[in-house]
Structure 1
Amino acid sequence: MERTQNKLTKPEAMIFDMDGTLFMTETLLLPAYHRTFERLREEKLYMGETPPEQAVLSCLGMLLDDIWRKIIPDASEAARQRANELLLELQLEDLKQHHSKLYPGVLETLTELNRRGVRLFVASNGLEHYVKGVARAHQIFPLFEAVYSAGEYETASKVDLVKLLLDQHKIHNAWMVGDRSSDVEAGKKNGQTVVGCAYAGFGNGQELDGADVLIADFKELLKLYDEAE
């Protein structure tokens, strides 16, 4: 799958979203999500039923505070804060059990891009320990020059996070690679090329409008890079 208007320029760097781009989020998220609500009910912080899985999957890419406000809008601030803590704690526990997965071809493609001299980065709206924990558990952490998260840098949007990354590492020509509208916005508002990942299916049909090119398989990145001028 490709949708591109112009010939792409070879980038000096690629900046990757984590959830829905490199990482099959649902393999880690959904078991922890259900256990989070079990614990919230045990602790009497939230007594309603667990919201449908689609509620959380449709929020991927958003900042965590916004996610909980959308999923449990009537819950107390204490309940939302505890949900944050529990979800992170349970996901980090499960990471150690090696139950989660990267998308097919991610490790091999990143390794090859790294070998070809492309500078690789992560920019995620997630929490620092989660984002770095996923990268370490799946043995891709050493391939990245730096891993940026909204949780670590306390940025208000992915636009700000990517601008910080570009400025700190003096990058002028990058590809922003991601699956959500926030990734498209972060790339475009910072003047970069956007590669939209259309394989996760967490967003709506317009999620990747504005991307320069769409890929249906992560491994297509290598071909795009080789064909870029």
Structure 2
Amino acid sequence: MPRTGSGISRSGAGTTVVLDRDGTLLDFYEMFHRFVLDLHEQQSATPPPREEILGFAYWSAITSGKLRIGSVRVLDRVDEVARRYMPHGKLYPGVVEMLTALSGAGVRLALVSSWVGTEPTVSLLERYEVRDCFGPVLTRDDLVARGEGASDADTKVELARRALDEVGHEPGHRLYVIGDTSSDIALGRRLGAVVVGVRTGNGGTMAAQGTPDGPDVLLSSAAELDTLVLGSQ
């Protein structure tokens, strides 16, 4: 099996994996919940139940700009989740072991997020002692100024291509892209990668494996990625 510690074979040489952050590696629900509760407290408002806050409809109301808490349009403050609340985030179970196994096998790893929060993300990875498993860790914070208004999809493509350049990925190398949303699937298709979906985060609504809108492979969580990648070498 892949998880063999310091004696692992470097069978992953020639392979690159681009990983999404939120909902794929990072369980951000507690971060987001605390942000919403704090915003209600600041506005002297009563928050809805936790299950409503963590529902897809609530998030959609934020991203559409429709949700207001008191005098605050939540979309104007939502970047605080990644920039201020990352200490409350946690990696999903098994992710640390997966990252260690892939890195130990010589697989090149890059983390790419279309949201903000590069420095807090690096701090989170350092807390879990897996920062050294990655090459580039890039978020929207790392876009050049001209790209500040770019869509999530375009942001992710630009950052992913930059990450591939930085790790020395070449056309003949095997490439995987893993994430929990349709934008991750679109990224993988644009890069010509093996597209891996996960059921964590927003992945519960992901189209079925092998369908036109779905991933090539669908996993229960990113913790299974090392078995997939190293088992296919």
TM-score, with structure 1 as normaliser: 0.73
Q: Deviations over 1:77-136 (max 9, x none)?
A: 9745752364345404xx1xxx54211111111111111100111011221234333323
Matches within 5 A, 1:1-229: 12-39=15-42, 41=43, 52-55=52-55, 59=59, 68-70=62-64, 72-73=66-67, 79-80=73-74, 83-84=77-78, 86-88=80-82, 90-92=84-86, 95=87, 99-127=88-116, 128-153=118-143, 154=148, 156=151, 157=153, 158-171=156-169, 172=171, 173-201=174-202, 203-206=204-207, 209-229=213-233
Which whole-Å deviations, capped at 9, do the CAs of 1:127-172 have from their partners, x for residues lacking one? 1234333323332222111101122224533223222322444423
Q: Indicate how the Cα distance of structure 1 residues 215 and 133 shifts in structure 2: closer, same or farther if over 3 A, else same.
A: same
CA distance in structure 1 between the partners assigned to 2:204 and 2:33 by the alignment: 16
Question: What SS does the corresponding residue of 1:84 show, helix, strand or coil?
Answer: coil
Q: How many residues align?
A: 205
Aligned partners of 1:174, 1:180: CA distance in 2, in Å?
18
Distance of 1:111 and 1:118 partners within structure 2 = 10
Quote the offset at 1:12 in angstroms.
Answer: 1.4
Question: Which structure's relative contact order is higher, taking Cα pairs within 8 Å and 6+ residues apart?
Answer: 1
Shift in CA distance, 152/56, structure 1 to aligned 2, threshold 3 Å: farther
When residues 88 and 14 of structure 1 are mapped into structure 2, their CA distance, relative to the original with a 3 A threshold, is closer
Q: Could you tell me how far apart the structure 2 residues matched to 1:67 and 1:123 are?
A: 25
In the alignment, residue 131 of structure 2 is paired with which amino acid?
A: F
Residues 11/23 of structure 1: CA separation in 2 closer, same or farther (3 Å cut)? farther
Spell out structure 1 runs of 4+ moving beyond 3 A: 47-52, 54-59, 66-69, 71-82, 84-90, 167-170, 199-203
Question: What is the CA–CA distance in structure 2 between the aligned matches of 1:71 and 1:113, rounded to whole Å?
Answer: 39
1:5 equivalent in structure 2: none
| TM-score, normalised relative to structure 2 | 0.72
